[in-house]
């Protein structure tokens, strides 16, 4: 058994992740479900054999020293994989996430109009929030592809590891991988101004120093697109603020209020007909109302800012879920799990009716 055969199997099934762990057969995540392959459980030496030859000498040294490694692996022209190796009680385990070589467009992703408007801004910070595996990287790649095709300038990507590789179209593209080309996200952001970058993509924004530098770049005239792990727009905003000590948070709120151009929060839900998954979005557009809420520390009232910003492309998550349930695209049960206000959502007549029928 060779790992390339497992990669082929994963791609043929349109799976997203391959899991390798001692004591279990190879497992693949297909349409959100983790499914075991019809193979014997892997021994520790089987996992080691599958991973043999994938790492560079430097990556192997890092893994030996730390017991954890994130890296990218290019499988010919078929796909790229984001790999994570970890050392645990049973031995070495690994997870590989498939990253298609073809970058989907905003049209193919059927994104909300509000997201397209955020992509077309010249400056500001745009946060793309969601859970791990929620499609943030795919959305960011489509946003960058749109910029690359529709304007001129210098695009800088900062990722750990590099996932999508963008070929120059109308823009100059610079890809930087943390740990290979730069020691940290913060260090890459520190050099972005000197490199005359017009658009900066950050594969994952975390840590006070990186957030501070991203805000400075967004305030000084650049467009910063950044992924952040958070379940909603309000949680993404608060995560940025909570990264700082309490005595600095008032200042950061002011900076974020000035620099934040918008937030897209997204989740992937199973389609009711079983034909794959669909992205559902919450979109918040930066305006005076949003800036006021951030300064006052009142992001719990974000729903009102979304309502007032609807004409500018803002979109409430629960309203989107409501529409998808009405149209039969997702089930009421799945929508309820994703809703931000579950109590209110469960009381919607058509949702309550479907849930009652399933009970």
Give the total number of structural domains in the chain.
2
Same structural domain for residues 135 and 180?
yes
Please say if the pLDDT value at position 79 is more than 90.
Answer: no
Which CATH number do you get for residue 176? 3.40.50.300
Predicted TM-score of the model (pTM):
0.85
Only one residue has tokens 């992509």, namely 119
Q: Omega into 161 within 30° of 0, i.e. cis?
A: yes
Same structural domain for residues 143 and 282?
yes
Q: Which domain holds residue 231?
A: 106-315
Q: How many residues does the chain have?
A: 359
- 156, 162 contact by CB (below 8 A): no
Q: In the chain, pLDDT over 70 holds for what percent of residues?
A: 99
- 135, 145 contact by CB (below 8 A): no
Read off the DSSP letter of residue 26: -
Please say if the pLDDT value at position 214 is more than 90.
Answer: yes
Best CA proximity match to 264, nearest among 103, 147, 118, 106? 118
Please say if the pLDDT value at position 359 is more than 70.
Answer: no
Paired strand residues for 155 = 173, 199
Domain-ending residue, one of 57, 84, 100: 100
Please say if the pLDDT value at position 131 is more than 80.
Answer: yes
Only one residue has tokens 């193979």, namely 39
Which CATH number do you get for residue 37? 3.30.450.90
Coil, helix or strand at residue 149? helix
The tens digit of pLDDT for each residue in 88-110 reads: 888 999 999 998 778 999 999 99
Mean pLDDT, the chain, rounded, equals 92
Same structural domain for residues 73 and 163?
no
The per-residue DSSP string of 267-278 comes to EEEE-TTSS-EE
| Predicted pLDDT of residue 269 | 94
d(CA 130, CA 281): 10
pLDDT category, 80, cuts 50, 70, 90? confident
| Token couple for 310 | 């609807």
Same structural domain for residues 78 and 120?
no
d(CA 70, CA 49): 19
Mean of the pLDDT values across residues 131-154?
94
Read off the DSSP letter of residue 122: S
| Token couple for 309 | 């910003």
d(CA 250, CA 353): 45
Please say if the pLDDT value at position 122 is more than 90.
Answer: yes
Is residue 274 domain-resident? yes
């Amino acid at each position: 058994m060779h790992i390339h055969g497992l990669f082929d199997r994963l791609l043929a099934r349109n799976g997203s992740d391959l899991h390798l762990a001692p004591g279990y057969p190879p497992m693949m995540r297909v349409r959100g479900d983790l499914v075991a392959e019809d193979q014997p459980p892997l021994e520790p030496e089987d996992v080691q054999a599958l991973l043999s030859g994938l790492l560079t000498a430097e990556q192997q040294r890092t893994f030996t020293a730390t017991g954890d490694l994130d890296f990218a692996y290019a499988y010919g022209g078929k796909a790229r994989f984001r790999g994570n190796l970890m050392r645990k009680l049973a031995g070495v385990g690994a997870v590989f996430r498939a990253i298609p070589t073809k970058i989907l467009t905003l049209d193919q992703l059927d994104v909300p109009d509000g997201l397209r408007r955020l992509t077309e801004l010249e400056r500001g910070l745009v946060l793309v929030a969601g859970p791990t595996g929620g499609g943030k990287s795919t959305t960011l790649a489509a946003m960058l592809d749109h910029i690359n095709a529709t304007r001129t300038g210098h695009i800088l990507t900062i990722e750990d590891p590099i996932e999508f590789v963008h070929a120059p179209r109308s823009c100059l593209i610079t890809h930087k991988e943390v740990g290979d080309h730069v020691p940290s996200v913060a260090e890459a952001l520190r050099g972005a101004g000197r490199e005359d970058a017009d658009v900066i993509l950050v594969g994952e924004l975390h840590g006070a120093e990186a957030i501070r530098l991203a805000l400075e770049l967004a305030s000084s005239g650049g467009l910063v697109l950044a992924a952040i792990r958070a379940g909603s727009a309000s949680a993404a905003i608060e995560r940025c603020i909570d990264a700082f000590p309490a005595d600095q948070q008032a200042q950061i709120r002011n900076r974020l209020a000035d620099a934040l151009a918008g937030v897209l929060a997204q989740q992937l839900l199973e389609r009711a007909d079983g034909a794959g998954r669909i992205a559902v979005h919450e979109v918040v557009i930066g305006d005076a109302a949003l800036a006021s809420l951030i300064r006052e520390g009142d992001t719990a009232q974000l729903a009102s800012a979304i309502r007032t910003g609807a004409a500018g492309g803002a979109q409430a998550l629960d309203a989107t879920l409501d529409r998808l349930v009405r149209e039969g695209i997702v089930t009421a049960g799945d929508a309820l799990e994703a809703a931000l206000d579950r109590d209110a959502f469960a009381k919607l007549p058509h949702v309550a009716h479907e849930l009652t029928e399933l009970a």
